[in-house]
Amino acid sequence: MVRLRSSKETTLNEPKTLKKRKHIEIELDEVVIKNDKITTTTKNIKKDKEIKLEEKGKKGKIIKKVVKNEVNSTNKNDTKTIKEKDKPKFWLQTLNEIKEYREKNEAPVDTQGCERLANENLPPKQFRYQVLISLMLSSQTKDQITAEAIRKLQKKGLTVENILKMSEKEIDQCIEKVGFHNRKSIYIKKTTEILHEKYDDDIPDNIEELVKLPGVGKKMGYLTLQVAWNKNMGIGVDVHVHRITERLGWIEKSKTPEIARVNLESWLPDTYWKEINPLLVGFGQICCLPVNPKCSQCPVTNCPSRKKTKK
């Protein structure tokens, strides 16, 4: 809040010869983060009232700002429609080139990805539970290792009822090759108890409840909704999706997958949200590697990050 005091509000020690100034109060009411930039809207000022503010910049310089109020204008549709010109150039061509490449080149995620590990022949509740557990194990773990751990748990009986009977040590023995297996065995046990007590052995069908479960983040949550509930509520952004979308120039560089997700969802049509994760994960596994990407084999015509081949 920036508050300019009127002369009536000055302290007794201040001179009484000050000119009277009209009281103005500005409240920074809403902060929106988009593309790592912060935008604020203001309230409690008269419509179309322009107010000059002064504040110190990073180097001590005085920065003058003009705030124009448009809050009182009623705009029922606050959602900005993303025009084609606002989307990354060549994005659809690039997407189709990657699709064509992936159709011809199999990646580990195609056979051992989390969405492939749950037994589809099980009753719906058990299937959804296995999807969730698969995703919980997948964090910072290769698909092959996750698949092996899930197979071991399935031999024991990967259901809420059976996991409740197992100790954390027994769970850990099945997933010992998974990254952070000690912590994940605790998460699996606690999550299973919550599902039994609160959700009748099922899993939540919304992102708000899913991310409250121990060891479940937004990436896992959105992928769980897509696979287990067939709900397309957001993009599951992992290290592959994060890295590749930055390399392609689809989003600005960001420090966290969550910022990357918000930026990507701001322009990518939601019809592509479900397929983008396995598509780019597989592409990142076999071509656009974290270190030494295979640029000479890359099908993307317009990649701003392509390394030039030495002659």
Least confident of 41-55, 85-99, 149-163, 271-285: 41-55
Q: What percent of the chain has pLDDT over 90?
A: 69
Provide the mean pLDDT of the chain: 81
Lookup: tokens for 182: 């000690």
Q: Is the pLDDT of residue 73 over 80?
A: no
Which listed residue (155, 219, 294, 310) is catalytic?
Answer: 219
Question: What is the pLDDT averaged over residues 169-190?
Answer: 97
Spatial CB neighbours of 96, under 8 Å, sequence gap ≥ 6: none
pLDDT band at 307 (very low <50, low <70, confident <90, very high): confident
What gap in Å lies between CA 257 and CA 242, rounded to an integer?
6
**Is 219 known to be catalytic?**
yes
Residue count (the chain): 311
Q: Which CATH entry fits the domain spanning 85-297: 1.10.287.130, 1.10.340.30, 2.60.40.10, 3.40.50.300?
A: 1.10.340.30
Following DSSP, what letter does each residue of 35-67 receive, concatenated?
TTEEEEEEESS-TT-EEEEEEE-TTS-EEEEEE
Lookup: tokens for 4: 């300019």
The CATH 1.10.340.30 domain(s) of the chain lie at 85-297
pLDDT value, residue 115: 83
pLDDT value, residue 242: 98
Question: What is the pLDDT averaged over residues 215-220?
Answer: 96
